[in-house]
Structure 1
Amino acid sequence: MKTIFNFLLYLLGFFFILGGFMTLTEGQTVPALFILSFGILLLPKVYQEVKQKFPKIKKLYYITLTIFTFIFGMISLGNKTLEEIENLKQTNSGVILSEINSGKIENNTGKIEETLNALIKRSSELIANGGINSIKAQIEINDKFINENGTLDTKKLNSLNSGLKGLLETLEKEEKEGKPEWLFTAFKDKLTDEVKEVYYVTSKNSVEQKFPYKTTNAQLVVRKSKSNLDVYIKIQSGQILTYNRTATLRFDDKKAFNVGINGSNDSDSTYGFLDSENKIFEELKKSKRLRIQIDLYQNGGVVFDFNTVGFKDALIKNKD
């Protein structure tokens, strides 16, 4: 009988010790210490030592066991209840967001504040990473909510909604015209100390070439300073023919025209410098597309297609 009793004490002791550690991992230090202490006191060896010093502990033991069991049960139940409440909150938020996204906004006192917070959260997410269709739908929902709740403080939602409208306008423009692809760099001439600005864009297409040359795209480069302007085309592989040659340019759907093309000072045949730089420069500021035909060694005339949207904006952005 005594062996069974000791076994039960060990079992209960380890149970409470384990429960104490679990409670400790959840950040509840004080309850964890109580549970751990009680679990240790339940161990037969510890219990015998305590009983020798306190002979009346046997009667108190059962009372203490009952109290600690009750406390442990309440803590466990409390944790479960808190978890259920948190899950319920998340579920409710999910339902509200679902209603918002489907256009079903419930205009009642109980949900109105929660709906506003959900709208603010969703709008912030879309500003950070939203597509055109999602943003359009959210703007419509926000407008409806703001109009139906004129007495509510919707300043933050109004501000976010304005941001969404601006973002939508930009995204729609980029979708229609093509995303600006101009890159910019600048350097100082070591001899003259003059700053040279370089704007460049890569062709949308590549062309295949006969052996030993590889498939290549092209870069259209505008290099400008206060005293000079160059417009040239650069390929990755192959040779641009420039001697007694011309390049044909066509901006948007305008009539194509020819300009002279020249080699670089160091005879690098991957470069072709275009004449009529000022004309090309002005056309680039108002065009969306430029096609350039040049002659490549052993590969004849090839056409490179460039998206030129945003060149004027790039000039303004990087203006001294």
Structure 2
Amino acid sequence: MNDASRYAEARLLTAKDLAGSFPGTTEGTAASKLIPELEEDVRKANLGKQWVYRSYDDPMTSEASVTAEVSSSNTHEFDRPYSRPQHATLTIRKHPQHGSDVIMSIERGQLLCRSYSGCKVLVRFGDEKPRTYEAAGPSDNSTTLLFIRGYSDFVRRMASADVVRIQAEVYQEGAPAWEFDTSGFDPSKLKQ
């Protein structure tokens, strides 16, 4: 538990085991006092690991397209034919042809957001009040993703929030909200 050369996760497990197995002893008391510090060390060590950053060359421009993706920490299960729990994905993209985008996608189902008429989504950054953003479906009219307008405002607010919740209407499913752990987002990794 006191060996700083060991991983924080291992030290935390040892401390919790000592505190739980030997309460009131010198070792148990010392372990109890160390647990909050080790929990913070574990949190810092894992900060941002939920983000997946990708880069690929756009074949038309030979320039880089970069994305940052995070899966929702919660799931929703829809009625047939879209049953089974599913996550949503939040993607931040910079593309040489299409510009900068905030994209939310689901695995199965029908987001009610058309390319020609658009829609509104409710977004909550951390503990702030929810904000309404305009959104649009893709030009091919597929129903599993939508583009949230206001890239700069969205990314600025997201960078200072550990959690982002997005509520969007889904055909015959109401307006479920997906929650994304956005802590540790690194905008510098989106440089083209």
Does the alignment reach a TM-score above 0.5?
yes
CA distance in 1: counterparts of 2:177 and 2:131, whole angstroms: 14
Say whether 1:208 aligns with 2:77. Answer: yes
State the shift of 1:265 in Å. 1.9
Question: In structure 2, what is the equivalent of residue 237 of structure 1?
Answer: 108
**Amino acid aligned to 1:217:** H
Residues 128 and 250 of structure 1: CA distance in aligned 2, closer, same or farther (over 3 Å): closer
So what's the TM-score if we normalise by structure 1?
Answer: 0.47
Q: 1:170 to 1:250 in 2, by over 3 A?
A: same
CA distance in 2, matches of 1:288, 1:129: 21
Q: Where do 5+ consecutive residues of structure 2 fail to align?
A: 17-37
User: Could you tell me which of 48, 59, 64 is aligned with 1:195?
Assistant: 64
Structure 2 residue aligned with 1:44: none
Q: Is 1:265 equivalent to 2:139 in the alignment?
A: yes
How many Å separate the matches in 2 of 1:235 and 1:183? 17
Q: Distance in 1 between matches of 2:39 and 2:76?
A: 35
Preserved CA contact (<8 Å) 1:180 1:307: no
TM-score if structure 2 supplies the norm length?
A: 0.75
For residue 170 of structure 1, report the CA deviation from its aligned partner: 3.5
For 1:45-99, what per-residue CA distance to the aligned partner results, in whole angstroms no more than 9, with x for missing partners? xxxxxxxxxxxxxxxxxxxxxxxxxxxxxxxxxxxxxxxxxxxxxxxxxxxxxxx
Residues 187, 318 of structure 1: alpha-carbon distance in 2 compared, 3 angstrom cutoff: same
- Output the amino acid matched with 2:136: N
Shift of 1:273: 0.7
Corresponding residue for residue 283 of structure 1: 157
Point out the structure with the larger helix share.
1
1:301 is paired with a residue whose SS is: coil
Instruction: Say whether the 8 Å CA contact 2:53–2:189 is kept in structure 1.
Output: no
Structure 2 residue identity aligned to 1:211: R
> Quick check: 1:316 aligned with 2:150?
no
Label 1:292 to 1:168 Cα distance change in 2 as closer, same or farther (>3 A).
closer
Give the gaps of 5 or more residues in structure 1.
1-100, 104-121, 137-166
Are the counterparts in 2 of residues 182 and 199 from structure 1 also a CA contact under 8 Å? yes
**Identity of matched residues, %:** 28
Relative contact order higher in (CA < 8 Å, ≥ 6 apart): 2
- 1:1-320 correspondence runs (5 A): 124=5, 126-127=6-7, 130-132=10-12, 134=14, 170-173=41-44, 180-214=49-83, 215-225=85-95, 228-243=99-114, 244-312=118-186, 315-317=187-189, 319=191
1:231-254 superposed Cα distances (whole Å, 9 cap, x missing partner): 010110101111452100000010
Aligned residue in 2 for 1:108? none
Cα distance in structure 2, aligned partners of 1:123 and 1:288: 28
Query: Displacement, 1:213?
Result: 1.2
SS at match of 1:280: helix
By how many angstroms is 1:127 displaced?
A: 3.7
Offset of residue 169 of structure 1: 5.6
- The structure that has the greater radius of gyration is 1
Letter in 1 for 2:102: V
Q: Which has the higher strand share?
A: 2
Shift, 1:132, TM fit:
2.7
User: For residues 77 and 62 of structure 2, what CA distance do their matches in structure 1 show?
Assistant: 40
Indicate if the aligned counterparts of 1:288 and 1:307 stay in contact, CA closer than 8 A.
Answer: yes
The runs of at least 4 aligned residues of structure 1 exceeding 4 Å deviation read: 133-136, 317-320
Q: Secondary structure at the match of 2:180?
A: strand
Q: The residue matched to 2:89 in structure 1 has which SS?
A: strand
Conservation of the 8 A alpha-carbon contact between 2:8 and 2:42: no
Query: Match for 1:130: what amino acid?
Result: A
Report the CA distance shift for 1:240/1:303 in structure 2 as closer, same or farther (over 3 A).
same
